[in-house]
Amino acid sequence: MTATVTESHPVVVASANGHRFTNGGTKTCVETAFERIVRGDDVLDALIAGVNIVELDPLDDSVGFGGLPNAKGVVQLDAACMHGPRKAAGGVAASDHVKTPSLLAKAVMDRTDHHLLAGQDVTAFARESGFEIDADLNTPNSKAKWLEWRARTEPLREITDPHEREAAIAGVTREMVKAGRINENHLHGTIHCSGINARGDICAVTTTSGRAWKIPGRVGDSPILGAGLYVDNEVGAAGSTGRGEANVYSLCSFLIVEEMRRGAHPKDAGLTALSRVKDNTVDLRHRNARGLPNFSLSFYVIDKRGRYAGVAMYNPTGHSAFAVCDGKGGRLERLEPLLTGSPDA
């Protein structure tokens, strides 16, 4: 069953960093994308132009250039895009040498018959496709944070019990967050951006530096269709930020779009997906004292009519937000939480 639609309202939605960073310019990601959509640009081109601002901004150390590196100090980037009208998609994973993996993902979509390229050969593809190749995507900020984390965790690697060692290393990261050395939102930092034009064309892009200090080669949810993002041009789009492993297990973006296909409002569809994640979180390492998920996960959703929502597992202070731009301009709006309290308690 497909949704019956009479009209669409242009809108762009994104994670909060989509309306916080400008890379020295005057417009944020969502403002740039919306402006290009209403002037008639292809929706996906407009969205990628928006996320490029965040990918290239060294102040956001969760995405692109200057993202927090893996355990070996290497910035490895993942990204994917989906083009609703063309029913096409592309992605890259564990890419080490291109600042804008969203554009690289689109090149995979446009230039190949594949959906996903991963690892060292991504660089060869990028070089052949005319991308600038950078030896190191670290900034002084990202390198310094990794050096501090490595120095503090190196002695803990002598702990023989793997679970005890993992918990001790995770404790160092929490201490760095509490000390203000790391933005908590950037530990699993990502930017997702979806948009729709007046014709009802829907596209989406998700791009990330992934989980801070991850095992080299780890691939999260961002480049996985149905998890980090999903688009059906007859229904809507969804994408995510937060704990990727939890999202991949439940393929939440696909689930959200299917819920909207059955008639659910974007907010209700997103909360249904979060409830699925909650029910699937049975590993004690990922549950708090209340037996609930001890991690963050958020979804950003639009439907064919241009209705939208941002939902989160928790919003403990009530101030966590997502980015929106429409005819009223760019702004941050409150994320609707599934659960009360916080992930920690």
What does the H/E/C string look like for 82-139?
Answer: EECCCCEEEEEEEECCCCCHHHHHHHHHHHCCCCEEECCHHHHHHHHCCCCCCCCCCC
pLDDT at 7: 66
Asked if residue 77 belongs to a domain, the reply is yes
Asked if residue 178 belongs to a domain, the reply is no
8 Å CB contact between 151 and 207: no
Provide the 3-class DSSP secondary structure of residue 227.
coil
Q: Which domain holds residue 18?
A: 11-137+184-339
Compute the residue count for the chain: 345
Place of tokens 């530990």: 187
Asked if residue 254 belongs to a domain, the reply is yes
Asked if residue 173 belongs to a domain, the reply is no
Q: Any catalytic annotation for residue 190?
A: yes
The identity of residue 263, as a single letter, is G
pTM of the model: 0.94
Asked if residue 276 belongs to a domain, the reply is yes
Asked if residue 41 belongs to a domain, the reply is yes
Asked if residue 158 belongs to a domain, the reply is no
Based on the structure, what is the number of domains in the chain? 1
Q: The CATH number of the domain where 197 resides is what?
A: 3.60.20.30
CA separation for the pair 253, 297 (Å, rounded): 12
- DSSP one-letter code for 248: H
Output the six-digit token pair for 227. 């998890």
- What are 112-159's pLDDT values in tens digits? 999 999 999 999 999 999 999 999 999 999 999 999 999 999 999 899
Place of tokens 């070089």: 127
- Residues of the chain whose pLDDT is less than 70? 1-7
Buried b (16+ CB within 10 A) or exposed e, 1-28: eeeeeeebebbbbbbbbbbbbbbeeebb
- What are 234-256's pLDDT values in tens digits? 999 999 999 999 999 999 999 99
Q: Count the neighbouring beta carbons within 10 Å of the beta carbon of residue 74.
A: 16
Asked if residue 172 belongs to a domain, the reply is no
pLDDT at 2: 44
Angle, CA of 100, 105 and 109, to the nearest 5° = 150
Q: 153, 190, 208, 281: which one is catalytic?
A: 190
